[in-house]
A and B are shown apart, each in its own frame.
Chain A
Amino acid sequence: MTDKKTIKKSSLDDLFKKMMADGKRVLAPVRKGETVLFQEVDGYSAVAADYVQTTLSAKEALLPRCEEMMRFTTAQSTVSLEEGPAKPSPVVVFGVRPCDARSIAVVNAVYLKDYNDALYKEKSDSTTIIAVSCAKSDEYCFCTSVGGSPGSTEGSDILLTLIDGDTYLAEILTDKGKAVVSIAPALFAAAGSEVKEKHLADVPVQFDLGALEKKLPGAFDGAVWITQSLRCIGCGTCSYVCPACTCFDIQDETDGTRGMRFRCWDSCGFGQFTLHTSGHNPREVQSQRWRQRIMHKFSYQPDQLQVVGCVGCGRCSRACPVDMNILQHIKDIVEAR
């Protein structure tokens, strides 16, 4: 049974300070010009208000855009490897949307299946997610069509829902969540009979996920991929803003003696992604890459990992420079005869 408490908005700054005093870095959405980005903050006053969705997702706390994998020193004919990257310091990510929190299940499925990715696991273990339910949504949101909701608790350690102007209902969902409460028990009060549902955004279900998953395996050769992606310019924006996109590149950098191996975000939208050294490319043109994006999320991952690789946050569509709207394209695929 989830432990329900309340916390005043005016207490959040105290909570932030207590968490920092406890040795945690606190990341929260901060407004920068037209964007809202997760950044380390030193108090609640820095947190952006009144946004539907952050520009980039919270995944960067777990999967940095550029992450050290190992260090090495090379001499004439010998190599020495140094200890892996320093242990990540504990992080609390505040203000994560429930859709983003759900995306952690996708990342877990990729990074922890078969081969345990310790770089990811360590970050994941030391990260606490304090999510905030969505009181509003926009035309790009479709979490409810992919199994989520504006008040979903999946993936969060604590979920806050604003139930009046100054009070959050706090659902304490995991041990990590309890640990946060235990740092500042006085800031939390026992919850009454408040229910969050009437405080959540109304996000209508827009397509039948089951029908989509049934349709895709037979749709590989369809003309729809070309039609839909004619305007796609092949940048990586959709992948990089996506909380559930996990593909990466590996790069070495060295000064000739000492060097590092990094992993960096990569995107199936890039032609280079699959290019063989010989010059042969299994996905030569953009329509094949667009197909891969949809197939991977809505067919391959459900089939192989039992998770849908999309949480309906709508970021890819909002950020796309050429208005590739994933919701619209999926609906078109579901409805096509």
Chain B
Amino acid sequence: MEEKNVYQPYLMRIASIIDETPDVKTFRLEFINEEEGKQFNFLAGQFGEYSVFGEGESTFCIASSPTRDGYIECTFRKMGRVTKALASKEVGDTIGFRGPYGNTFPIDRWKGKSLLFVTGGIALPPLRCVIWNALDTRENFKDVTVVYGARSVQDLVYKHELDEWEKRSDVKLITTVDPGGETKEWKGEIGFVPTVLEKAAPSSADTIALLCGPPIMIKLTMPVLTKLGFSPDNIFTTLENRMKCGIGKCGRCNVGKYFVCKDGPVFTFAQVNQLPPEY
């Protein structure tokens, strides 16, 4: 039998585009080959290689929830060659997608627990997948708390969804912007994520924390979570490193002996603490 070329992407049609911020976009992607779409499955936390043919591939998470069938979504910032080319695409255009790759958040093991999401800026997308997964199976979890910060109001992504979560009685949403990043209409907190988290002081009892953000935020938030009583094996994150293949072969995303693409990207802080600082 002919072996499938593992590097050959699915062809995806851009079904919709949301401009999240001036340089961040969310694409909804549908499989052009419906049969491929039907067979496609993924779990929260996994990622893929998105390609613009002629420019190359770029790695980001699947930002939509596996509970939503028929499409995947990705959210990316216009940064390099591929993301700039992606950003110039329009609804109806074709791009490539390989995946899903990597391990997953062990959501099944969290049944009956509370979930605390702590995140900042463009790091919300990987957790947004888990948030919607939890909200779509809301009966499986106790409290769901989201603490989300950005440099400014303009830099908050998924604004329409933040509004939706704000209105829901079964989600506690705390949004914050850095001092100076607020607008006149801003009703959320003003301050950095660790400070806001400390003030909110969510309970760590029977709670899983998911922490994802820029390195400085992680560094300053970890002591707060520890103070709140979270143990490192109950704090999950998702790491990123430069990748090409996504499947443990091209050799560049390793942190010590683990490949972020294959052994991650999801790690507990108990695991991260054992890793050399190569991310």
A contacting B, Cβ–Cβ less than 8 Å: yes
A246 to B96 CA separation, bound complex (whole angstroms)? 25
Question: C-beta contact mask, B239-257 vs A, less than 8 Å → 1, else 0?
Answer: 0111011011111111111
A247 to B243 CA separation, bound complex (whole angstroms)? 11
Given contacts A115-B6, A252-B53, A303-B257, contact A77 B241 (CB under 8 A): no
What residue in chain A is nearest B90 (Cβ atoms)? A77
Q: Is B206 on the interface with A (CB-CB < 8 A)? A: no
Q: Is the CB of B257 within 8 A of A304?
A: yes
Q: Is A212 on the interface with B (CB-CB < 8 A)? A: no
Q: Is the CB of B5 within 8 A of A118?
A: yes
Q: Is B92 on the interface with A (CB-CB < 8 A)? A: yes
Q: Is A22 on the interface with B (CB-CB < 8 A)? A: no
Q: Is the CB of B3 within 8 A of A116?
A: yes
A174 to B253 CA separation, bound complex (whole angstroms)? 36
What residue in chain A is nearest B279 (Cβ atoms)? A282
Q: Is B7 on the interface with A (CB-CB < 8 A)? A: yes
Contact of B79 among A78, A278, A282, A288 (CB under 8 A): A278
B9-52 interface with A by 8 A CB criterion: 9, 11, 51
Q: What is the total number of residues of chain B having a CB less than 8 Å from a CB of chain A?
A: 44
Contact of B53 among A72, A119, A246, A304 (CB under 8 A): A72
Q: Smallest Cβ distance from B87 to chain A, in angstroms?
A: 13
Question: C-beta contact mask, B129-143 vs A, less than 8 Å → 1, else 0?
Answer: 000000000000000
Given contacts A69-B5, A220-B276, A247-B250, contact A259 B54 (CB under 8 A): yes
Contact of A74 among B4, B53, B251, B279 (CB under 8 A): B53
Most buried by B among A115, A251, A259: A115
Most buried by B among A78, A116, A261: A261
Q: Is the CB of B53 within 8 A of A250?
A: no
A151-189 interface with B by 8 A CB criterion: none
Chain A residues whose C-beta falls within 8 Å of the C-beta of B278 in the assembled complex = 282-283, 288
What residue in chain B is nearest A221 (Cβ atoms)? B276
Q: Is B175 on the interface with A (CB-CB < 8 A)? A: no
What secondary structure prevails in chain A residues at the interface with B? mixed
A286-313 interface with B by 8 A CB criterion: 288, 292, 295-296, 299-300, 303-304
Q: Is A122 on the interface with B (CB-CB < 8 A)? A: yes
Q: Is the CB of B7 within 8 A of A70?
A: yes
Q: Is A275 on the interface with B (CB-CB < 8 A)? A: yes
Q: Is A321 on the interface with B (CB-CB < 8 A)? A: no
Contact of B96 among A79, A110, A282 (CB under 8 A): A79
Q: Is the CB of B247 within 8 A of A252?
A: no
Chain B residues whose C-beta falls within 8 Å of the C-beta of A72 in the assembled complex = 53-54
Q: Is the CB of A259 within 8 A of B53?
A: yes
- Contact-residue bracket for chain A: 35 or more
Q: Is A273 on the interface with B (CB-CB < 8 A)? A: yes
Contact of A77 among B55, B94, B279 (CB under 8 A): B94
A103 to B7 CA separation, bound complex (whole angstroms)? 24
Q: Is the CB of A266 within 8 A of B250?
A: yes
Chain B residues whose C-beta falls within 8 Å of the C-beta of A247 in the assembled complex = 250-252
Q: Is the CB of B251 within 8 A of A77?
A: no
Q: Is A2 on the interface with B (CB-CB < 8 A)? A: no
Q: Is the CB of A119 within 8 A of B252?
A: no
Given contacts A250-B244, A251-B56, contact A115 B92 (CB under 8 A): no
Chain B residues whose C-beta falls within 8 Å of the C-beta of A282 in the assembled complex = 241, 255, 277-279
Chain A residues whose C-beta falls within 8 Å of the C-beta of B7 in the assembled complex = 69-70, 119, 250, 261, 263
A114 to B251 CA separation, bound complex (whole angstroms)? 14
Q: Is B88 on the interface with A (CB-CB < 8 A)? A: no
Q: Is the CB of B80 within 8 A of A220?
A: no
Q: Is the CB of A248 within 8 A of B249?
A: yes
Q: Is the CB of B92 within 8 A of A250?
A: no
A121 to B253 CA separation, bound complex (whole angstroms)? 23
A172 to B166 CA separation, bound complex (whole angstroms)? 73
Q: Is the CB of B245 within 8 A of A77?
A: no
Given contacts A252-B55, A300-B257, 16 further A-B contacts (CB under 8 A): A72-B54, A74-B53, A77-B93, A79-B53, A81-B9, A110-B248, A114-B248, A220-B276, A246-B249, A248-B251, A250-B56, A274-B252, A275-B242, A299-B257, A300-B254, A300-B256
A-B contact pairs, 15 of them (CB 8 A): A72-B53, A74-B54, A78-B94, A79-B95, A111-B249, A114-B248, A116-B3, A117-B249, A220-B276, A250-B250, A252-B55, A252-B56, A256-B54, A282-B279, A283-B278
User: B residues engaging A (CB < 8 A)?
Assistant: 3-9, 11, 51, 53-57, 79-80, 83, 90, 92-96, 240-242, 244-245, 247-257, 262, 276-279
User: A residues engaging B (CB < 8 A)?
Assistant: 69-70, 72, 74, 77-79, 81, 84, 110-111, 113-119, 121-122, 220, 246-254, 256, 259, 261, 263, 266, 268, 273-278, 282-283, 288, 292, 295-296, 299-300, 303-304
